[in-house]
Amino acid sequence: MIALLQRVAEARVEVEGRVLGKIGQGVLLFVCAEPDDTDASADKLVDKVLRMRIFADAAGKMNLDLAAVGGGLLVISQFTLAADTSSGNRPGFSRAAAPELGRRIYERVLASAAARHGEVASGEFGADMKVHLINDGPVTIPLSVRGPA
């Protein structure tokens, strides 16, 4: 799996002018499934994100995780994270999972996150989404996760 985590002061996602999901302080997570991804990859990604210590403690050090700050998690599917830009000017997306697998893995990420964290919001798989965010820091971290190891 490929993911991009952003620490946010707030974020929301809209489809056709309707707000589908929104959070205050927390993590905006863009997720892209790859062809070899499994439920185990999705669970491992969620574990990593929920344990990521990217929020400031009383001393101002990035030492707290999402639960410690009572933050929300907004999960957005984004197959373009798998873009291959090695040749030409048009990106290729052959590294992204087929839509059926991509949807299944995305839904597993959402279910896994909801089972372990209190506030989880999402966009709509395959939709033309408008994502609004205030990046806090900015803190933006690329993640790559394979199944259990």
Catalytic residues: 78-80
Q: What sign for the dihedral angle of Cα 6, 20, 102, 84?
A: negative
String of DSSP letters for 26-90:
EEEEEEE--TT--HHHHHHHHHHHHH---EE-TTS-EEE-HHHHT-EEEEEE-GGGG-B-SSSSS
User: What span, in angstroms and rounded, lies between the C-alpha atoms of 33 and 1?
Assistant: 5
3-state secondary structure of 114: helix
Residues in the chain: 149
Burial class (CB in 10 A: 0-12, 13-18, 19+), 51: exposed
